[in-house]
Amino acid sequence: MKKTHLVTLIPGDGIGPEVIAATQKIIAAAGASIEWETRHAGASVFKQGIPSGVPQETIDSINRTKCVLKGPLETPVGFGEKSANVTLRKLFETFANIRPVSEYKGVATPYSGRNLDIVMVRENVEDLYAGIEHMQTPEVAQCLKIITRPGCEKIIRYAFEYARTQKKKKIHCATKANIMKFTEGLFKKVFEEVSKDYPEIEAQHIIVDNCAHQLVKKPEQFEVIVTTNMNGDILSDLTSALIGGLGFAPSANIGEHAAIFEAVHGSAPKYAGKDQINPTAAILSGVMMLKHLGEFEAAAKIEAAVRLTWENEKTQTRDIAGDTRAIGTNAFTEEVIRNLGRATVRAEATKETVDVRKVLTKLTGTPKTHTQVQGADIFLEFNGTPGDLGGILEHVADNTAMRLKMISNRGTKVFPGETHTSCVNHWRCRFINRNGKEISDRQIYDLLFRITELKLKWVHVEKLQDFDGKPAYSKAQGEDA
Ligand code: NAP
């Protein structure tokens, strides 16, 4: 008897309900047996006054089904609640975001004929998307970029395991390690370590800006790109444009506790309810879901039918066909259903996702590290010149274990010495030990107490640590040893 899979369905906002309805219809027509549990998240939930945008009944359903087909969720830009998308990804620790793109016959692009087949493997829960932001002063905002060794190792091993199962020969790791040596640098370092366990796969690091350049110039050189969250978010919109646009880019969010399948695109509100948009990305996300569930035959049938539909220039949506010859979302869906079984297909029993448990068992962990506190960066709010502040702080540290080493503003050293930096009221004041001895918490409190006594306002403190004898903190631009 045919197995019925229980899947949580989140229709989403804007164009979400249209693309999700199309996907459900096609999956049913292809013969896969799915029982959908419809739940909600996003705009409608915010309106009910639930600030997370993800109600408990949706969380309960996902805990039960462990599999989600999801429409895009709207997130207001620049104000309001946090993204319900990111909340879902983080709540279920879906650390791997897989975003494949491949060329479609009939969809003419400047790259047609190059047989593009690129998979972006994006870290999905860390980086700037940890969402830890603080206004430091009324004129200075800060967002913490959190990159962890376990987070890097999980996604990088996932990417190599994925490449191995998909018989890919090459992985690029795209980072900004030249500038962010501790965060993006950690990602690069772990990539270099993990790559040694996969000698049959060519591993190459590329700086992310050059990666964007090369993707536009010669995209056929890429097979799999593994990268940090923000880089992957941006680069994957770029790769979708290489093959026809966001209407063609599916994705899977994979973790140990759940898998969430969704189009890369957002809720495109201007097209909502107009029967105009391209449902291909959502349908292909459904195909990825079917492969994840082991429904290889239905997946192969749908993929082939979608490809066949795009080959016919009379059955294309507006994003490719323009206003004059386009068909609507519903007509496109019916055409895909008509084409099911028309195309000759061979169902390959290859999952498009990797068994996360297999990845987790291979994790090597963090090497033992000797740490020693050498000083502290004390961030102050201060209205005045670097010279004014430097003069005060040099005396503050008199007869303490630390001395003022330098002050920077927006990352550039402004004291001691001359500066052309346009300064704001947020200053990093670096205090370092005088005699090479470890600095205690009490010594840092003592310094903070002296600063407070002078009615200076400190806003945050970072310890300066050496790890295995090497500084584990960055220098300011222009700071000497
Ligand atoms: P978007 O919704 O992806 O739309 C950007 C543009 O991409 C559209 O204006 C349209 O381009 C094209 N497009 C997107 N989906 C398409 C489709 N299915 N068929 C054809 N063309 C399509 O991005 P946005 O306007 O930046 O974001 C809108 C909202 O979605 C925001 O609230 C954002 O936070 C949210 N969002 C959610 C997710 C998610 O749920 N995973 C992802 C991204 C964004 P043209 O204008 O050129 O026709």
What's residue 352's pLDDT?
74
Ligand 1 nearest-atom number relative to CA 15 = 18
Least confident of 25-29, 74-78, 196-200: 74-78
Q: Is the CB of 266 under 6 A from ligand 1?
A: yes
Does 435 score more than 80 pLDDT?
Answer: yes
Are the beta carbons of 392 and 456 closer than 8 angstroms? yes
The number of angstroms, rounded, from the C-alpha of 263 to the middle of its chain's C-alpha atoms is 14
Q: 401, 433 in Cβ contact below 8 A?
A: yes
What the block records as the tokens of 263 is 């189009």
Q: How far is the CA of 475 from the centre of ligand 1 (A)?
A: 39
* pLDDT at residue 286 tops 80: yes
Consecutive H or E run containing 164: helix 149-165
Task: Determine whether the shortest distance from the Cβ of 127 to ligand 1 is under 6 A.
Answer: no
Residue 353, pLDDT > 90, answer no
pLDDT, tens digit, for every residue of 397-418? Answer: 999 999 999 999 999 999 999 8
Summarize the confidence of residues 315-319 as an average pLDDT: 97
Q: Indicate if the pLDDT at residue 350 is higher than 80.
A: no
For the cut 90, the answer to whether the pLDDT of residue 75 exceeds it is no
Decide: 159 and 124 in contact? Cβ < 8 Å.
no
Task: Give the distance (Å) from ligand 1 centre to CA of residue 267.
Answer: 5
Query: Among positive and negative, which fits the CA dihedral 46, 51, 55, 58?
Result: positive
Domain architecture of the chain: domains with CATH = 1-96+249-349 (3.40.718.10), 108-243 (3.40.718.10), 371-471 (3.30.70.1570)
Q: How far is the CA of 73 from the centre of ligand 1 (A)?
A: 10
- For the chain, give the percent of residues with pLDDT over 70: 99
Query: How far, in Å, CA of 63 to CA of 8, rounded?
Result: 10
Q: Is 249 in the pocket of ligand 1 (CB under 6 A)?
A: no
Please state, in angstroms and rounded to a whole number, the distance separating the CA atoms of residues 176 and 227. 10
Q: Which two tokens stand for residue 90?
A: 């983080």
Q: Is the pLDDT of residue 336 over 90?
A: yes
Joined together, the tokens standing for residue 352 give: 């498009």
Q: What distance in angstroms lies between residue 16's CA and the mean position of ligand 1's atoms? A: 10
User: How far apart are the C-alpha atoms of 126 and 154, rounded to whole Å?
Assistant: 12
pLDDT at 347: 66
Q: Report the Cα–Cα distance between both ends of the chain, in Å, rounded.
A: 71
Q: What is the mean pLDDT of residues 224-229?
A: 98
Q: Whose CA is nearest to atom 4 of ligand 1?
A: 268
- Tokens of residue 210, six digits: 């050059």
77 has pLDDT over 90: no
Q: Write phi, then psi, for 432 (nearest 5 degrees).
A: -130, 150
pLDDT in tens, 448-471: 999 999 999 999 999 999 999 999
How far is Cα 417 from Cα 406, in angstroms, rounded to an integer?
9
CA of residue 330 to ligand 1 center, whole Å:
19
| Atom from ligand 1 closest to the CA of residue 74 | 32
CA distance 295 to 3: 9
Contact predicate 340/301, CB 8 Å? yes
> What is this structure's pTM?
0.95
| CB 285 near ligand 1, within 6 Å | no
What number does the ligand 1 atom closest to the CA of 319 have?
A: 20
* Nearby residues of 86 by Cβ (< 8 Å), 6 or more positions away: 129, 131
- Ligand 1 centre to CA of 253 (Å) is 18
Mean pLDDT computed over every residue of the chain: 95
pLDDT, position 373: 98
- Residue 277 alpha carbon, nearest atom of ligand 1: 19
Any atom of ligand 1 within 6 Å of the Cβ of 183: no
Q: 24 is written with which tokens? A: 């459900």
Contact 224, 169 (CB under 8 A): no
**Residue 81 confidence class, pLDDT cut points 50, 70, 90:** confident
No. of H helices and E strands in the chain?
15, 18
Residues 39-69: pLDDT tens digits?
A: 999 998 988 889 889 999 999 999 999 999 9
